[in-house]
Amino acid sequence: MTDTSYDRAPGDQSVPLDEEESGPSSILIYSIGLVLSLGLTATSFWAANTNLLWGPGVPLGLVVLAVAQMGIHLVFFLHITTGPDNTNNVLALAFGTLIVTVVVSGSLVIMTNLNDNLMPPAGMQMRH
């Protein structure tokens, strides 16, 4: 018999609720998530306002910190794990991400096309 209470992600409810759980409490899990989120937020503000980083690399660093913070929120607060109980949650998250990507990229394509096909300003027209 193996003890799997330590071999699970934060928020994974693989152990029935009526059994005594020896893993970390939910308050501890939420507190860890809060501390990590606040740390990533503070790091983002520091990265945006410091002169110690290479200027063109700051946006990439902010994107990396934002993706890390999304991961923290998904695992610690929304309890999205890859356990067998959470297959529907992961599929719903993937579908939502696909829809948002299609809408945003489609909007950017439409706005770029409209910008390219606008009439030139009145002062730019060639007169005969």
> What is the average pLDDT across 102-128?
83
Q: Is residue 112 pLDDT above 90, yes or no? A: yes
Q: What tens digit of pLDDT does each residue of 11-47 get?
A: 566 555 555 555 678 899 999 999 999 999 999 999 9
Say if residue 76 is in the same domain as residue 13: yes
Say if residue 70 is in the same domain as residue 90: no
Write out the residue range of the structural domain in which residue 90 sits. Answer: 84-115
Q: What tens digit of pLDDT does each residue of 63-86 get?
A: 999 999 999 999 999 888 877 888
List the Cα angle 61/67/69 in 5-degree steps: 100
Say if residue 13 is in the same domain as residue 74: yes
Residue at 126 is within a domain: no
To the nearest whole number, what is the mean pLDDT of the chain? 83
Contact 62, 48 (CB under 8 A): yes
Say if residue 94 is in the same domain as residue 76: no
> What is the average pLDDT across 76-103?
89
Q: What are phi and psi of 25, to 5 degrees?
A: -75, 165
Say if residue 24 is in the same domain as residue 63: yes
Counting the structural domains of the chain, the total is 2
Residue 99: the pLDDT is: 97
In the structure, what pLDDT confidence band is assigned to residue 8 with cuts at 50, 70 and 90?
A: low
Residue at 70 is within a domain: yes
Residue at 93 is within a domain: yes
Return the HEC string of the chain: CCCCCCCCCCCCCCCCCCCCCCCCCHHHHHHHHHHHHHHHHHHHHHHHHCCCCCHHHHHHHHHHHHHHHHHHHHHHHCCCCCCHHHHHHHHHHHHHHHHHHHHHHHHHHHHHHHHHCCCCCHHHCCCC
Residue 102: the pLDDT is: 98
